[in-house]
Structure 1
Amino acid sequence: MSLTDRAITRIRQMIREGELLPGAKLPPEQQLAAELGLSRNLTREAVKSLVVARVLEIRRGDGTYVTSLAPALLLEGLGGAVELLQGDTVLELTEVRRLFEPAATALAATRITDEDLAEVERHLSAMRDAKDDIELLIRHDAAFHRAVVHATRNETLATLLEHISGRTLRARVWRGLTDAEAAGRTVAEHEAIHRALVARDPEFARAAALMHVNTTECWLRDHLAEGQQGAGAPRSRANHTRS
Structure 2
Amino acid sequence: MAVTDEAIGKIKQMIVAGELRPGDRLPREPDLAERLGLSRNSLREAVKALSLIRVLDVRQGDGTYVTSLDPAMLLDALSFVVDFHRDDTVLQFLEVRRILEPAATALAAQRIGDEELAKLWSVLDALGEDPSIDELVANDLEFHRQIAACAGNKLLSSLLDSLSGPTTRARIWRGLTQEGAVHKTREQHAAILEAIASRQPELARSWATVHIAGVEEWLGRIV
Q: Is the TM-score greater than 0.5?
A: yes
Q: For this structure pair, what is the TM-score category when the shorter chain's length is used for normalisation?
A: over 0.9
Name the residue aligned to 1:26. Answer: 26
Name the residue aligned to 2:205. Answer: 206
1:195 aligns to 2:194 (yes or no) = yes
In the alignment, the residues of structure 2 paired with residue 61 and residue 126 of structure 1 have an alpha-carbon distance, to the nearest angstrom, of 49
Q: Secondary structure at the match of 2:22?
A: coil
Task: Out of 148-157 and 177-186, give the one that drifted further.
Answer: 177-186
Amino acid corresponding to residue 199 of structure 1 in structure 2: S
Name the residue aligned to 2:109. Answer: 109
Name the residue aligned to 1:44. Answer: 44
Structure 1 runs, 4 residues or longer, greater than 3 Å off? none
1:92 aligns to 2:121 (yes or no) = no
Larger RCO of the pair (alpha carbons < 8 Å, separation 6+): 2
Cα shift at 1:110: 0.5
Name the residue aligned to 1:229. Answer: none
Work out whether residues 33 and 40 of structure 2, in 8 Å CA contact, stay in contact via their aligned partners in 1: yes
**Once the two structures are aligned, what percentage of the paired residues are identical?**
50
Cα shift at 1:87: 4.4
Amino acid corresponding to residue 107 of structure 1 in structure 2: L
Amino acid corresponding to residue 86 of structure 1 in structure 2: R
Cα shift at 1:168: 0.8
Q: Secondary structure at the match of 1:19?
A: coil
Cα shift at 1:57: 0.9
Partner deviation per Cα, 1:9-28 (whole Å, 9 max, x = no partner):
01000001111101111111
In the alignment, the residues of structure 2 paired with residue 181 and residue 80 of structure 1 have an alpha-carbon distance, to the nearest angstrom, of 34
In the alignment, the residues of structure 1 paired with residue 209 and residue 112 of structure 2 have an alpha-carbon distance, to the nearest angstrom, of 19
The gaps in structure 1 that reach 5 residues or longer are 225-243
Amino acid corresponding to residue 24 of structure 2 in structure 1: A
Which runs of structure 2 are paired with 1:48-197 in the superposition (5 Å)?
Answer: 48-127=48-127, 129=128, 131-197=130-196
Task: Out of 77-86 and 105-114, give the one that drifted further.
Answer: 77-86
Name the residue aligned to 1:234. Answer: none
In the alignment, the residues of structure 2 paired with residue 189 and residue 176 of structure 1 have an alpha-carbon distance, to the nearest angstrom, of 14
Amino acid corresponding to residue 93 of structure 1 in structure 2: F
Work out whether residues 107 and 152 of structure 2, in 8 Å CA contact, stay in contact via their aligned partners in 1: no
1:6 aligns to 2:17 (yes or no) = no
In the alignment, the residues of structure 2 paired with residue 79 and residue 71 of structure 1 have an alpha-carbon distance, to the nearest angstrom, of 12
Normalising by structure 1, we get a TM-score of 0.88
Work out whether residues 131 and 137 of structure 1, in 8 Å CA contact, stay in contact via their aligned partners in 2: no
In the alignment, the residues of structure 2 paired with residue 214 and residue 131 of structure 1 have an alpha-carbon distance, to the nearest angstrom, of 24
